[in-house]
Amino acid sequence: MSFWFDLFFPIEMLVVGLSGGVATGKSTVSSVFRAHGVPIIDADQIARQVVIPGTSTYKKLRKEFGDEYFDDEQGGVLRRDKLGKLIFNNPEKRKALNGITHPAIRWEMFKQFLTLLFTGTKYIVFDTPLLFESGYDKWIGTTIVVWCDFEKEVERMMKRDNIPRADAESRIHAQMDIEEKKKRAKIVLDNNGNIDELREKVKEVIIQMEKSWKPYIYRVIFGLILGVVPYYALKYIRS
């Protein structure tokens, strides 16, 4: 699949990658983009879809981790909280989980991207906490990271998920350090203030994106590729 990514993503503003820490405000940033009509491909949402009971990914997970991580009284749904506690404290189990779920997530993201591309949308935002860990940033020209201080992140996560401090810290440390993400990002959004301040910062980013003509240029190039390549391929086959 990397071949197709290399072909379709020599682009800087058409596709935007959004990432951040576990509780740094990524969902708020994503919601502002949605409110302005920007389509979002949400990796977390897709991750839930690919483990619905009956899917091939679900069956692989059940075989790997055992019945105790599935609630048969509720239709066999994955016990995400229980599995989360396991993988955040066990690198080997986390690697096994990623090896099963990531291919399915990437494939679904790719299908959604192609669908949106042909609808004529100007921008697409990939919302994924593993933007850099998964290497998506290599084919996305514009990357955004939303961050806050460690203490704020811990406090927000404890309040949001109703979990103890130790669990919050464990989940944060399980991901790439936020300072490293900030170094790799093209745009960095400081979310140490309140939610209204963050929303205003996102609106400023959207204004700058709207000023760019690059999406139109790339779409023309993409259209030419789709039109010219099949023509010459057919001509070659017939000759």
**Residue 16, SS3?**
strand
Geometric angle at alpha carbon 48, from 46 and 51, rounded to 5°: 110
| Confidence band of 221 (pLDDT split at 50, 70, 90) | low
Amino acid type, 230: P
**pTM attached to this predicted model:** 0.77
Lookup result for tokens 């055992």:
66
- pLDDT number for residue 191: 97
Q: Which helix (H) or strand (E) holds 237?
A: helix 214-238
Whether residue 145 has pLDDT greater than 70: yes
C-beta of residue 87 within 8 angstroms of C-beta of residue 36? no
Q: Report the distance separating Cα 217 and Cα 13, nearest Å.
A: 10
**Mean pLDDT (whole number) for 111-130:** 84
Looking at residue 171, its pLDDT comes to 85
Give yes or no for residue 140 having a pLDDT over 60.
Answer: yes
Strands 77-78 and 142-147: unpaired
Whether 5 shows a pLDDT value over 50: the answer reads: no
d(CA 169, CA 158): 9
Nearest in space to 177 (alpha carbons), one of 194, 197, 153: 153
d(CA 87, CA 101): 13
pLDDT digits (tens, 9 = 90+) for 58-110: 999 999 999 999 999 899 999 998 998 888 878 899 899 999 999 999 899 98
Q: Which of 30-44, 52-66, 160-174, 185-199 has the lowest mean pLDDT?
A: 160-174
Confidence of residue 7 (pLDDT cuts 50, 70, 90): very low
| Per-residue confidence (pLDDT) for residue 137, from 0 to 100 | 87
pLDDT band for 116, please (50, 70, 90 cuts). Answer: confident
The β-bridge partners of 187 are 144
Pairwise CA distance, residues 125 & 93, whole Å: 29
CA dihedral 77, 107, 110, 23 (to 10 degrees): 50
pLDDT higher than threshold 70 for residue 185: yes
pLDDT at 127: 94
d(CA 58, CA 63): 9
DSSP 29-40: HHHHHHHTT--E
Least confident of 57-71, 112-126, 171-185, 213-227: 213-227
- Give the single-character DSSP code of 175: S
pLDDT of residue 210: 80
pLDDT tens-place string over residues 21-66: 989 999 999 999 999 999 999 999 999 999 999 999 999 999 999 9
Query: Is the domain defined by 2-238 classed in CATH 3.40.605.10?
Result: no
What is the average per-residue pLDDT within 202-218?
Answer: 74
Percent of the chain with pLDDT over 90: 55
Query: What is the pLDDT of the chain when averaged over all its residues?
Result: 84
CB-count burial class (<10 Å; 0-12, 13-18, 19+) for 203: middle
Amino acid at 170: S
pLDDT above 70 covers a percentage of the chain that reads 82
**Secondary structure of residue 174 in the 3-state scheme:** coil
